[in-house]
């Protein structure tokens, strides 16, 4: 660090100590610092570019699965909102992990007719969605999700959690709402151009 930068840093700290740290003063200091941070430079097709800390706490396998969902959505013609809906659904169903168990095994949840649920995979899809192999293949499972979403009349105008509920038929229509902000951040991070 140069003498000039050290002096400027020292003067800033002295000014903060002398003047006191008011809310307005804190904002005046933090806003330029936050604005100076470089945006994430990651490439959806290159997991090695994913930051170790992840995006909004989602990392590793979770980001890889989110990238795959985004890719499938793009291949099927879904824009940003459709991509966010798919990532939200998988966040709400499996925390973006391709798991081979579901609600019956973890909490004894049954179907409305009393039968055991058979949910597995990223989207926790039951037997009627497809074979075990299809439901456990993240790309195929995402394709199954989007094939049903596109059949929901007016899905693009609905609240995302309600559109997902129409596909997933979760007991709580608002279950997915809490994942919207994270899903948006993840999709946006995965949608930028790959760094050179």
Considering the entire predicted model, what is its pTM? 0.75
Total residue length of the chain: 196
Chunk the chain into consecutive blocks of 10 residues (it has 196) and report each block's average pLDDT, rounded to whole numbers.
51 49 42 41 81 90 96 97 98 94 62 68 91 96 98 97 94 94 96 77
Q: Name the token pair of 162.
A: 């309600």
Query: 102: burial class by Cβ within 10 Å (0-12, 13-18, 19+)?
Result: buried
Q: Please, what is the angle between helix 138-149 and helix 80-94, to 10°?
A: 120
């Amino acid at each position: 660090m140069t003498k000039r930068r050290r002096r400027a840093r020292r003067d800033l700290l002295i000014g903060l100590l002398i003047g006191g740290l008011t809310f307005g003063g804190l904002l005046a200091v933090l806003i330029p610092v936050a604005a100076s941070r470089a945006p994430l430079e990651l490439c959806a097709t290159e997991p090695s570019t994913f930051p170790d800390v992840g995006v909004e706490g989602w990392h590793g396998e979770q980001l890889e699965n989110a990238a795959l969902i985004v890719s499938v959505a793009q291949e099927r013609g879904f824009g940003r909102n459709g991509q966010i809906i798919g990532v939200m659904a998988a966040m709400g169903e499996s925390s973006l992990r391709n798991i081979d168990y579901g609600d019956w095994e973890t909490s004894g949840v049954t179907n409305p007719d009393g039968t055991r649920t058979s949910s597995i995979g990223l989207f926790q899809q039951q037997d009627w969605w497809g074979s075990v192999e299809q439901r456990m293949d993240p790309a195929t499972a995402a394709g199954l999700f989007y094939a049903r979403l596109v059949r929901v009349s007016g899905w693009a105008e609905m609240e995302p959690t309600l559109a997902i509920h129409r596909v997933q038929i979760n007991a709580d229509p608002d279950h997915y709402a809490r994942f919207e902000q994270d899903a948006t951040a993840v999709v946006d991070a995965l949608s930028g151009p790959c760094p050179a």
